[in-house]
Amino acid sequence: MEGATIHGDSTMTLGDITFQTASYKLSPAQAAFFKTQTGIHDDEDLKRHILEVQAKAYKAAPYPCIHRFGFLRLNLSNFAVYEHILKLGRERSDAVLLDIGCCFGVDARKAAADGFPAKNIIASDVVEEFLQLSHELFKTTPASYPGSLLPGDIFDPEFLSIATPSVDVFPAPAIDLSSLKSLSPLHGRVSAINAIAFFHLFNEEKQLYIARALAGLLSAQPGSVICGLDNGAVEKGTITNNLSGVEYQGFAHSPESWSSLWDGEVFEKGTVKVETKLAEIPIDDKGHLMTMMMWSVTRL
């Protein structure tokens, strides 16, 4: 496959890429999860199934995360805030979990498997084919999986309009997520938002736009949380990264600039708790590292 792809505001040349199954590797936790979810317990059969879905997804949108099997990661369940999110699902009758920029919605499926009510989970991506392939990957149908899969562009105000963060701490009436055609009806209703590997696809201006858009969705009830994992830097600015020989540039916030964006610019200062952590994370089996920032924004 030849050519270039633009993912958000990050540009990269993919060149002549041949899928290499050597990069396919499931951790014990991933293997157990996908075997349980798909009902495919033979390792080679599972690998064949995943490769078939991967090929269809790459044809729909040739993103590096598809080529490098990034869509198989159980990212959210590795966050310290994950148990808190599951607790919100258990204790709030109106709790809604939004998985934004979800690809196949693997984090959403994992949360459902771990007890967050699936009917209260909505996974959204701009690539509609990814959502269709979610059912193929997990061998489900809209009838068998009660979670909602909603395609849409977060920059389209018809899909999600900007709203001032809610100050109403009273629980909102339940809403049928399966009936939604856009995210705007969820203003002030969402208890938890998973935005892992989403913000860093865009430039600084668009990251602020997304933050405002998601803030308008978040419930004012204390403990409501937005979390993510993105490219980070000691000082905010343009960074250059290399993914398996593919070089791209993008914008990265520092912990300080990210905290001030949420606490004081997006939300009224002092009304949220922002936690950030920079870490050097391996991105391949050759020892290449990437500076990433794990973060969460919790309403007080």
Alpha helices (runs of H) in the chain, residue ranges in sequence order: 28-38, 43-60, 64-67, 82-91, 106-113, 128-138, 204-217, 255-262
**Mean pLDDT of the 78-87 span:** 97
Q: Is a pLDDT exceeding 60 seen at residue 222?
A: yes
Residue 240 CB-density burial (10 A; 0-12 exposed, 13-18 middle, 19+ buried) = exposed
Structure tokens at 146: 């009660």
**CB 280, CB 243: distance < 8 Å:** no
Are the C-beta atoms of residues 296 and 225 closer than 8 Å to each other? yes
Residue-wise pLDDT for 91-119, tens only, equals: 998 899 999 999 999 999 999 999 999 99
Phi (first) and psi of residue 237, to 5 degrees: 155, -170
Which of 4-18, 36-50, 154-168, 233-247 has the weakest average pLDDT? 4-18
Instruction: Please report, for the chain, the start and end positions of each structural domain, with discontinuous segments joined by +.
Output: 4-72, 76-299
Amino acid at position 63, single letter: Y
Which residues, in sequence order, are bridge partners of residue 295? 228, 276
pLDDT for res 159? 98
Residue 12 has pLDDT above 80, yes or no: no
Work out the burial of residue 35: count CB atoms within 10 Å of its CB; fewer than 13 is exposed, 13-18 middle, 19 or more buried. middle
Count CA atoms closer than 13 A to 11's CA, side-chain side: 3
| Identity of residue 89 | G
C-beta separation of 247 from 215 below 8 A: no
pLDDT at 37: 97
And the tokens for 73?
Answer: 């990661």
User: How confident is the model over 233-282, as pLDDT tens digits?
Assistant: 999 988 877 665 666 788 999 999 999 999 999 999 999 999 999 998 77
What CATH fold (topology level) applies to the domain 76-299? Rossmann fold (3.40.50)
- The DSSP bridge partners found for residue 290 are 281
Give the sheet arrangement for strand 148-151, strand by strand.
148-151, 121-125, 97-100, 192-194, 225-231, 289-299, 272-282
Q: 188 - beta bridge partners? A: none
With 50 as the cut, is the pLDDT of residue 2 above it? no
Q: What's the whole-number mean pLDDT along residues 171-182?
A: 89
Which amino acid is located at 280 in the chain? Answer: E
Average pLDDT over residues 292-300: 97
* CB proximity list for 44: less than 8 A, separation 6 or greater: none
What would the two tokens of residue 214 be? 């998601």
Of the candidates 82, 70, 79, 150, the residue with the CA atom closest to the CA atom of residue 106: 70
Residue 188 zone, left/alpha/beta (φ > 0; ψ -120 to 50; rest): left
Mean pLDDT of the chain: 89
Question: At 290, is the pLDDT very low, low, confident or very high (cuts 50, 70, 90)?
Answer: confident
State pLDDT tens for residues 179-194: 999 999 999 999 999 9
**266 in Cβ contact with 249 (< 8 Å):** no
Smallest Cα–Cα separation from 64: which of 289, 248, 294? 248
